Chains A and B, each alone.
Chain A
Amino acid sequence: MLLFLMASGLTLIFSMMGVLNFAHASFFMLGAYFAYQISHHIGFWPGLIAAPILVGILGAAVERYALRPVHRFGHVAELLFTFGLAFVIEEVVQMIWGKVPVPYDVPASMNVTAFAWQGLDYSAYRIFMLLISVAIFVALFFGLTKTRIGLIIRAALTHPHMVASLGHDVPKVFMWTFGVGCALAGVAGVIGGNVLGTEPGMAIQLGPIVFVVIVVGGLGSLGGALIASLLIGILNNMAIAYDFSFYPIFTALGVEREAEGVLGDLVGLTTGAIAPLMPYLLLVLMLIFRPRGLFGTRDV
């Protein structure tokens, strides 16, 4: 679910502006940290509202004052800029809050088990996370399909130049899009930071996976982002939870358990062990064979 929130923001930014926001996960991190600060002093619920807004404003400011001048140097330069931005944000976060994880916790009111299913406990908080994500997805869906600005955004998803030619104030739309995209990442940070742990390394952990999601789902497609994030999330969880061993395949091929060398390593593999690999394998395969992704309307 977190993946979807972040992926939707990134899709919006990438599809609208052609900028692959390397720093997207950094805004996710900022959301978590802001929420921590606010919840520390005021409370969780105000943080839920305020933190994403702050992140969004920060994002819009970054677009307006920093990213915009880089536009004219081309996509590679923009990518380099957002890459540098990610670097700087991580360092700044370390500077302000230190390297140790901060105690951003799930509010006590929701830290209870709602129900159990198939041997796994589901806490009320996770339900809450799910609900928020669904609510945002629904809001995005209606916002994009029923409103005028939504129409413009959808048009810009596939034909950005046309939209500019039609007279819309593209710079302002860009600024707001970037802001909203970052705010979405911020929301993910707010609701996810207390579960995953809020520390400076969280951006680099989640960042690449979000890229995988939007590439696999297809660029320019929010629905694709949803499906891909579900897919990757489920695959990941299943791989770890069920932990299939590859051993049977190898024995079928006549390989011994005590095999030497590389084979020895591979024989002992389980899906849990290679779970970290899978998204990137998917990314590489997708980019090579079907750069449009599953539902994409545009090539990368």
Chain B
Amino acid sequence: MEQTWELKLYIAGKTLKSETALRNLEKYCNEHLQGRYKIEVIDLLKKPQLAEGDQIFAVPTLVRKVPVPIRKIIGDLSNEEKVLVGLNIVPVKKLA
């Protein structure tokens, strides 16, 4: 099942937390969803009107739009296992 994962990362400015989150996310995607993902970073400071649509209240928030159902992970995504479980990603290789 070759499906593209559409991920949105909502941040509010370049903070330490948002940098960490983005770094972590890219790392996990590269490892487990090679070539099957799209990451869109939305800075709410620049586009505050988008916060309501995806029901964002915390930042950073990662939203999985596709595949449905929508899942959300908030935080700097520092716990890989939790992120993978949260996004329902089957790890490519067994985690050590």
Partners in one complex: no
